Amino acid sequence: MKKIVILSVFLMTIASFAQAQCDVTEFTNKCADRLKPLGFKYLKSYKLDFLNGSKKQIMYSYVFSNGTNYIVTLANNQKDNKGLYVTLLDSEKKPVASSYVEKDKKYLSAISIKCSRTGIYYLAYEVKEGKEYCGSSVIGFKR
Amino acid sequence: MKKILATAILSFSLYACGGDADVSDVKQSDSTSKNQSSKAAISPEVIKSFVDKIPSPMVISSLIKEMGVEYDQGLLNSIDNESKYNNDYRRALNLGIYSTDLGYANIYEKTQDATNLLVGVKDMADALAIGQYFEFEKIKELAKSSDKLDELLRVTEENLQEVNNRLQSNNRSDMTVLIITGGWVEVMYLACNVAKKKRNKDLETTIADQKVVLKQLVELLNYYDSTPKMKALHDELVELEKMFGEIKITLVKGEDKTEAKSETMVVEQGDREEAEMTQENLDKITTKISAIRNKIVN
């Protein structure tokens, strides 16, 4: 009986560790905290769990409205969200902008857009380098 | 040893499912069983991708406030109507309606109305067995402080997102679709009635642009056409969609400009869409959306 209990506790600990691997609360707060100083209101958050690298890209879509400013903020366990970036694509899945600046090898923490054409926009999140496979993204808006 | 291993694996499996342990607590909606055959054909990922892209009604409510339009309590759904919502179909739609009204009242910092509407949200959510995912006390406290509007909007949105995720993972995506549809119908009802009282180009453009969202809702409801009530709602929205098709929209082409400023990539879109909404367009859409809303709330 003792062995059962010990083994169960051991396995539960492993399970607990596995579940806690991508806790994005802190990252979501970090993203959301950036909104207010820039005049944006919270709209939606996305958990970015790349499953330890087995997932190469996480894609979400959202309807952006004409005349509204949107900001897509990013955060992971790195101070400057190194490794994590987002590409914004239009309704035809044509890239509009990326938070990764190739020429400077720099990861920006957000993309902002003043939408002048209502439609479905796609947000493609990827990890380019490093092993930070857990992060968060928050969309904010202002008129 | 085999027994030990089997017991341990069982314990592990039960624990690993801990995140969804409350699944069995969530009751099946009364439309779920009838709708099972059609639902089985729909991938949950497809439903989720549709639901994820529907914008929050808060965007339009914010625009209404920023236009300088006075708050209109008369546009809200009365809490007295609650007793009429005696099945899950009506509860889910009116949960969406009350949630939009709550957001509208919060944006205008109307604490008393927000508190009343929160009761409506809570009652509908409890009746749908999803009340446990709303942080009612926290929302109530935040609604009392005018300097906590941002946090209030965030908690409300996060709660709704959680409810939708739970419903979808519990095979009750029909309820999610109805909550979202109710929320959209209500914000359109608010916007159209405000626009009728005080014509405003920005608001009219926003209303006209809702055809994109309406198209998504029509496609979503189409998946549930084996449920008569949802089929009827779908057909109403299809009629509304035709009215949106009558609005003239011009696309002016241009080049996108992007520039890295500080820590943000700033995009200035080149393409620009301009909607020309006539009084007739607005009248027809307002009448139709009011009729749809009337059926939902009364």
Weakly modelled stretches of chain A, pLDDT under 50: 11-19
- What's the number of domains chain A is made of? 1
Q: pLDDT tens, B182-200?
A: 999 999 999 999 999 988 9
CA distance B159 to A110: 24
Residue B250: exposed, middle, or buried by beta-carbon count in 10 A (0-12, 13-18, 19+)?
exposed
Give the per-residue pLDDT at B224: 92
How many Å lie between the alpha carbon of B255 and the closest alpha carbon of chain A? Answer: 10
Give the per-residue pLDDT at B15: 30
Tokens of A40: 């944006």
Residue of A nearest to B10 (CA): A8
Q: pLDDT tens, B152-179?
A: 888 988 888 888 888 888 889 999 999 9
Give the per-residue pLDDT at B89: 96
Q: Which of A3, A9, A47, A5 is nearest to A136 (CA)?
A: A47
Per the prediction, chain B carries an average pLDDT of 85
User: Tokens 């409890």 correspond to what residue?
Assistant: B126
Give the per-residue pLDDT at A5: 53
Contacts of B269 (CB under 8 A, 6+ apart): A96, A113, A114, A115, A116, A117, B254, B256
Give the per-residue pLDDT at B45: 80
Give the per-residue pLDDT at A84: 95
Cβ separation of A8 and B8 shorter than 8 Å? yes
How many Å lie between the alpha carbon of A7 and the closest alpha carbon of chain B? Answer: 6
Q: In angstroms, what CA-CA distances link B284 with A126, B63, B193, B220?
A: 45, 22, 12, 24
Q: What CATH number corresponds to the domain at position A90?
A: 2.60.120.380
Give the per-residue pLDDT at B24: 30
- The answer to whether residue A2 sits within a structural domain is no
User: Tokens 């009337």 correspond to what residue?
Assistant: B294
Give the per-residue pLDDT at B19: 29
Band the pLDDT of B287: cuts 50, 70, 90.
Answer: very high
- The answer to whether residue A4 sits within a structural domain is no
Tokens of B100: 């939009």
Give the per-residue pLDDT at A1: 54
How many Å lie between the alpha carbon of A137 and the closest alpha carbon of chain B? Answer: 13
- The answer to whether residue A40 sits within a structural domain is yes
Give the per-residue pLDDT at B101: 95
- The answer to whether residue A130 sits within a structural domain is yes
Contact yes or no for B177/B221 (Cβ under 8 A): yes
- The answer to whether residue A132 sits within a structural domain is yes
Which chain A positions have a beta carbon within 8 Å of B207's beta carbon? none
Give the per-residue pLDDT at B41: 58
The half-sphere exposure of B94 on its side-chain side, counting CA atoms within 13 A, is 33
Give the per-residue pLDDT at B148: 82
Query: Is the pLDDT reported for residue B10 higher than 50?
Result: no
CA distance B17 to B289: 43
Write out the residue range of the structural domain in which residue A96 sits: 22-142
How many Å lie between the alpha carbon of B284 and the closest alpha carbon of chain A? Answer: 22
Give the per-residue pLDDT at B6: 41
In order, the DSSP letters of B22-76 are GGGGSPPPTTHHHHHHHHHTS-HHHHHHHHHHSPPTHHHHHHHHHTTPPP-GGGS
Q: Which of B138, B154, B174, B165 is nearest to B40 (CA)?
A: B174
Cβ separation of A143 and B66 shorter than 8 Å? yes
Give the per-residue pLDDT at A16: 45
Contact yes or no for A85/A56 (Cβ under 8 A): no
Number of residues that this document lists for chain A: 143
CA distance B265 to B28: 45
Higher-confidence position of B238 and B133: B238
Give the per-residue pLDDT at B102: 93
Torsion of CA B79, B80, B83, B87, to 10 degrees: -40
For B262, which DSSP code? T
Band the pLDDT of B44: cuts 50, 70, 90.
Answer: confident
Q: What angle do CA B166, A63, B259 make, to 5 degrees?
A: 120
Contact yes or no for B252/B272 (Cβ under 8 A): yes
- Domain range list for chain B: 28-297
User: Which amino acid is residue A14, in one-letter code?
Assistant: I
Which chain B positions have a beta carbon within 8 Å of A15's beta carbon? 12, 15-16, 18
Mean pLDDT of all residues in B125-148:
88
Mean pLDDT of all residues in B136-147:
84
Give the per-residue pLDDT at B198: 85
- The answer to whether residue A103 sits within a structural domain is yes
Give exposure, B252-269, as e/b (b: 16+ Cβ within 10 Å).
eeeebebebeebbbbbeb
SS3 state at B15: helix
Which chain B positions have a beta carbon within 8 Å of A32's beta carbon? 154
Give the per-residue pLDDT at A7: 52
Please give the interface size between A and B, counted as residue pairs whose CB atoms are below 8 Å apart. Answer: 145
Query: Is the pLDDT reported for residue B151 higher than 90?
Result: no
CA distance A53 to A64: 29
Cβ separation of A108 and B260 shorter than 8 Å? yes
Residue of A nearest to B205 (CA): A66
Q: What angle do CA B15, B20, B24 make, to 5 degrees?
A: 110
Give the per-residue pLDDT at A80: 84
